[in-house]
A and B are shown apart, each in its own frame.
Chain A
Amino acid sequence: MSQNKRVILSRRSVIKRAVLLGTAVAIGLIPMKVLRAEEIVKGNVAPNAKKQIGFSYDEGKCIKCEQCVRICQETYKWEDETPWRKLLKNEKGDALSMSCNHCADPACAKVCPVVAYTKRASDGIVIHDSTRCVGCGYCLYACPYHAPHLSETLGCVSKCHFCYALQDAGSGPLCVGICPTQALTYGDMSELSKKGDLNYKGLPDPKITNPSMIAIPKQK
């Protein structure tokens, strides 16, 4: 008898909890809310609200030596399939050295379910923590610049982190340091954005994520 009673009571309490949980979820359920939440996030991360550093690439100065790519791979040991930096070239002779653009509105950070991405308030660097990453691949679709890559062997994502440890120690990123012609430089976006943007040779609309990088095409 008493056992029966206990069973009924526990079931009842389980249901009660279920109802509470269900209601809590149902309140915020309307999927449109998710979209709206996203817009609010976008609004919060105004481009010039905080300090944001970024890359600058001057095509006219670039000799396509790929030192920037080589030093990055040698130091951070990424696989060829998951490049942190690439030197993009086309048959017309155009080039662009690009890594993660540490966007002001990082789409990767927005979609990552496990918060593996953090955007540092001090300089706007977007850092991906591979130890948190579950490897869902959502950020690969979200990023318009193909910056994050999912390693088949490791099962997690990695990308450029702007050599943040070196920056904290007072020096600059390796790719910039090794560039023999200073085609690749870095600086504060409030200065860089006066010189140009990333509306460059087929690249996606910078409005999507507000990338912290400018590319200056060579004079023809």
Chain B
Amino acid sequence: MGHWGWLIAIYLFLGGLGAGAYLSSFAAEKGFLGKTTHLNRVGYYVSAPIVAFGALLLITDLGQGLRQPWLIIKMFLNPTSVMTWGIYILTAFIFVAFIKAYFVWKKRPAPEVISYIGAILALGTAAYTGMLLAVVEGVPFWNSYLMPVIFVVSALSTGLSLTSLLAHFFEKRQVHEAKVTQVHLWLVSAEIIAVAAFFALVYSGSQEVAKLSATRLLTGSLALPFWILFVLVGLVGPLTFYVQQSLSHKNTTPSLMKEQSAYHDVDTIQQAQPEAGGRGKSQNILLLCDVAVMVGGLTLRCVIVFAAFPVWSGYLI
């Protein structure tokens, strides 16, 4: 059976993370994350390096990656292989995302077509990380149409988390936009639904081996990371906080809403409002949620890669 382990899982995670970061900044730029935003740059900066680093990990994991690296050039050759497709998409995405980041860095408007191509390629990258596993008939647990869906939603969620986190630490201009929390609430909800649907599909299906893998996650040897790191830390925890945040936003008076969506300088944020302490606290929890979402995303990749049981055990029965 296969030898894919940590490096592949991290590679799949980073592919999704980089793609999600690009799409977060893209969404912010297009105004989907609120009228004012500070998320419209960092995602672009980090996307290409993250995906490139992931690809580098993959290369070190190849049997010949460090021995005969020139063989890798030929990985463009087989158009029926999803891996070849992934290499097309990843290469193009890294290239386009670098160009886009260069424009953003120079504070020049990039041609719209570049931003959009980057966004399409980012979606492709995120989908590919799931597709790579989904087309393997030899591993029934992976062989599901929902696999790329889960990976894309998780990529968007982790990417938005990374972008928010980095924007908090590296952007001078800080914006607190309720819309971001709301979008993240939808993403996490969608992920929960997708994962639940995936398990429902596995258990209602006829593939006994896929059920074996699923059981390994739900009650077996991978149950601890699955339930604690992925479900509790990565999904339920952030979901609870996002729900609470959006409820409290709905309850606040319109004047406060307006004030909350206005921007502040970092140094004024602490002294300006009387409720700044409370805001600071919820801001910290928000950052913690971002970290939690990423931990969950990485855990998801790991447990799915590790749970792979082959369609045939290799023994006679």
- Asked if A and B are interacting partners, one says yes
B258 within 8 A of A: no
Interface positions of B (Cβ within 8 A of A): 1-4, 61-65, 67-68, 71-72, 74-85, 87-89, 92, 95-96, 99, 111, 113-114, 117-118, 120-121, 124, 127-128, 131, 135-139, 148, 308, 310-317
- Do residues A19 and B117 form an inter-chain contact, with CB atoms below 8 A? yes
- Do residues B315 and A37 form an inter-chain contact, with CB atoms below 8 A? no
Which residues, 125 to 157 on A, are CB-close (under 8 Å) to B?
132-138, 140-146, 150-151, 154-157
Within the complex, what minimum Cβ distance (angstroms) separates A104 from chain B? Answer: 14
- Do residues A137 and B71 form an inter-chain contact, with CB atoms below 8 A? no
**B residues in contact with A96, CB < 8 Å:** 316
A71 within 8 A of B: no
A79 within 8 A of B: no
**A residues in contact with B95, CB < 8 Å:** 18, 21-22
Place the interface of chain A in its size category: 35 or more
Partner of A134, one of B63, B118, B121, B313: B63
- Do residues A29 and B89 form an inter-chain contact, with CB atoms below 8 A? yes
Q: A37-B80, A136-B83 are in contact. Are A204 and B312 (CB under 8 A)?
A: yes
**B residues in contact with A151, CB < 8 Å:** 63
**B residues in contact with A18, CB < 8 Å:** 95-96, 99, 114
A203 within 8 A of B: yes
Q: A38-B135, A114-B78 are in contact. Are A146 and B310 (CB under 8 A)?
A: yes
Interface bits A20-61 vs B (CB < 8 Å: 1, else 0): 011101100101001101100100000000000000000000
Q: A134-B64, A146-B1, A146-B310 are in contact. Are A22 and B92 (CB under 8 A)?
A: yes
Task: Give A146 to B68 CA distance when docked, in angstroms.
Answer: 25
- Do residues A35 and B63 form an inter-chain contact, with CB atoms below 8 A? no
A192 within 8 A of B: no
**B residues in contact with A137, CB < 8 Å:** 2-4, 63
Partner of A26, one of B1, B65, B117: B117
Which 9 A-B residue pairings sit nearest by Cβ, starting from the closest? A135-B63, A155-B63, A202-B317, A22-B117, A113-B83, A204-B312, A140-B2, A113-B75, A90-B316
In the complex, the chain B residue whose C-beta lies closest to that of A96 is: B316
